[in-house]
Chains A and B, each alone.
Chain A
Amino acid sequence: GESVGLHLPTLSVQEGDNSIINCAYSNSASDYFIWYKQESGKGPQFIIDIRSNMDKRQGQRVTVLLNKTVKHLSLQIAATQPGDSAVYFCAENLFSGGYNKLIFGAGTRLAVHP
Chain B
Amino acid sequence: GAVVSQHPSWVICKSGTSVKIECRSLDFQATTMFWYRQFPKQSLMLMATSNEGSKATYEQGVEKDKFLINHASLTLSTLTVTSAHPEDSSFYICSARPWESVNQPQHFGDGTRLSIL
Contact = CB atoms under 8 A, between A and B. Distances in A.
Contacts of B59: 2
A100 B100 contact: yes
Interface string B75-117: 0000000000000000001010000111101111111010000
Contacts of A106: 42-43
Interface string A47-88: 001010000000000000000000000000000000000000
B6 interface: yes
Interface residues of B, number: 27
B46 A101 contact: yes
Categorize the interface residue count of chain A.
20 to 34
A4 B111 contact: no
Contacts, number: 73
Question: Considering residues B41, B46, B103, B113, which has the most beta carbons from chain A within 10 angstroms of its beta carbon?
Answer: B41
B72 interface: no
A45 B43 CA distance: 14
Given A5-B43, A104-B44, A95 B102 contact: yes
Given A42-B111, A95-B102, A8 B41 contact: yes
A16 interface: no
B102 A31 contact: yes
Contacts of A2: 45-46, 59
B32 interface: yes
Nearest to A107: B43
21 contacts: A2-B46, A3-B43, A5-B42, A7-B41, A34-B105, A34-B106, A36-B108, A41-B110, A43-B95, A43-B108, A43-B110, A43-B111, A44-B108, A51-B103, A89-B43, A89-B44, A97-B49, A100-B102, A104-B43, A104-B46, A105-B43
Interface of B: 4, 6, 32, 34, 41-46, 49, 57, 59, 93, 95, 100-103, 105-111, 113
Interface of A: 2-8, 31-32, 34, 36, 41-46, 49, 51, 89, 93, 95, 97-107
